Chains A and B, each alone.
Chain A
């Protein structure tokens, strides 16, 4: 079983739609939960991170964590064509002070004008 499972998509939605992206994980040792966005030919950039169950909102983005179900989600409201990218969930544990990130496969998202 993979430590982190993410539906690779692709996912295509019209502009303005609400997008829901999800990941499940199996390792209870993960302490932090992150969403990265990766544009073509670029490195991943952090969108949101959280460490507790519940919701965290930042503009049009909401991250949701349910530790009891080992399930995390990212919601994008009022989606824009510029949101088209690959979205990667990542789970983090700390080893000797450094971050160990385990990524999902990434979901390729396209927002159609």
Chain B
């Protein structure tokens, strides 16, 4: 257990569905991240929140919509996804302005059918 919990662990959704991924960190960190890990591709940074403010949006399509209601919680809202969006979605957290470890959750394995 790394202190970063993601739910659900697995998700299958149709292209017309709307779903949300949830991330919660119990480490007292104030920066949170969404990464995408596809087969045979590097981990890609999607969104960065620092002190609940989005500071990076890495050219991610609008069908992915992040939400950070407080420093402990991060959501990724999904709608009208494509099959190529199937991947492992990883959440991470770190302490802002400290060069310390970013802790990752175990990820949500998403399959779009």
Contact = CB atoms under 8 A, between A and B. Distances in A.
Interface of A: 2, 4, 6, 8, 31-32, 41-46, 49, 51, 88, 90, 92, 94-106
Contact of A95 (B55, B101, B106): B55
Main secondary structure of the interface of A (DSSP, over half): strand
Contact of A98 (B31, B35, B104, B106): B31
Interface in B79-94: 90, 92, 94
B45 interface: yes
B56 A98 contact: yes
A42 B106 contact: yes
Given A43-B104, A43-B106, A46-B101, A97 B43 contact: no
Contacts of B103: 46
Contacts, number: 79
Contacts of B99: 31-32, 49, 51, 92, 94, 99
Contact of B42 (A42, A94, A105): A105
Interface of B: 2, 4, 31, 33, 35, 40-45, 48-51, 55-56, 90, 92, 94, 96-97, 99, 101-107
A101 B36 CA distance: 12
Contacts of A4: 42
Contact of B43 (A31, A41, A44, A46): A44
B48 A100 contact: yes
A88 B43 contact: yes
Contacts of B45: 100-102
